[in-house]
Amino acid sequence: MTLFMKFWSSVVNALCLPLHVIHALGLYEIYKRIFPIYLYRISICYNKKMHDKKKELFRSLSEFTKPGGRLTILEIGCGTGANFEFYPPGCKVICTDPNPHFEKYLKKSMGENDQLTYERFVVASGEDMGSVEDESVDVVVCTLVLCSVVDVQQTLREAHRILRPGGALFFLEHVAADPSTWVYFFQHVVQPLWYYFGDGCEVIRETWKYLEDAGFSDLKLRHIEAPLTALIKPHIIGYAVK
């Protein structure tokens, strides 16, 4: 199966040659303007299908409020702000994303969720959130982001750094399928094309392994089958306590 998979993956890779050239010439940056428009629509569908899962996950957010304080959440790669509706009323939110072209959609989501207080929108990658102080937030949220960051380990180190002791990293991520399945095969075959279509997304990441090694004191992680198209059905959901 491995050779067969590598063969087809190489075929798709070769067909992506024009995209590799566009990327190498720096022209792929134009897609950063288009991606938010397209992600806005996708996020509406995703939230409908994943409503119960997100509700169940974010129900635990309030447990991380310090006594007498207000919950402060920092979201890495917040995109269009698709998670805001699931946050407890009254909490403070710091939004971060390396793509500044999301701001228009973020503002729309903020307007629709005015039960929250938005501190700021920081244009930063998860790997480098230097403007955010150490141990300054109760919760970090990452949904559909660890598949896109360039360096997962560094992003998790940054999340760990900015979390206060006892705070938690909440995650919901699509991941690589079981190697014995056809989904795994097709994930690997389409990956070269998926990367461009998904703005740097890797559908073959074994993200749970990075979370297991990230040095959190407690990891609540479940593998689930999301009610989505086969390639992104395998998900992990949970939170990691600092």
Ligand X SMILES: C[S@@+](CC[C@H](N)C(=O)[O-])C[C@H]1O[C@@H](n2cnc3c(N)ncnc32)[C@H](O)[C@@H]1O
What's the distance, CA 170 to chain centroid? 10
Contact 1, 68 (CB under 8 A): no
Per-position x/- string for 22-61, each x denoting binding to ligand X as judged by CB under 6 A, each - no binding: -----------------x---x------------------
Question: Which residue number, 26 or 69, has a Cβ lying nearer to ligand X?
Answer: 26
Question: Which residue number, 103 or 127, has a Cβ lying nearer to ligand X?
Answer: 127
Q: Phi and psi of 33, rounded to 5°?
A: -85, -30
Q: Which residues contact 14 (CB under 8 A, 6 or more apart)?
A: none
Q: Pseudo-torsion of CA 102, 138, 65, 235, nearest 10°?
A: 60
Q: Is 138 in the site for ligand X (CB under 6 A)?
A: no
Question: Which residue number, 182 or 197, has a Cβ lying nearer to ligand X?
Answer: 197
Q: Is 97 in the site for ligand X (CB under 6 A)?
A: yes
Contact 170, 141 (CB under 8 A): yes
Rounded Cα–Cα distance for residues 176 and 115 (Å): 36
Q: Is 175 in the site for ligand X (CB under 6 A)?
A: no
Q: Is 146 in the site for ligand X (CB under 6 A)?
A: no
Closest contact distance (angstroms) between CB of 59 and ligand X is 17
Total of residues contacting ligand X (CB under 6 A): 21
Residues near ligand X (CB under 6 A) are 39, 43, 76-79, 82, 97-99, 102, 125-127, 143-145, 148-150, 200
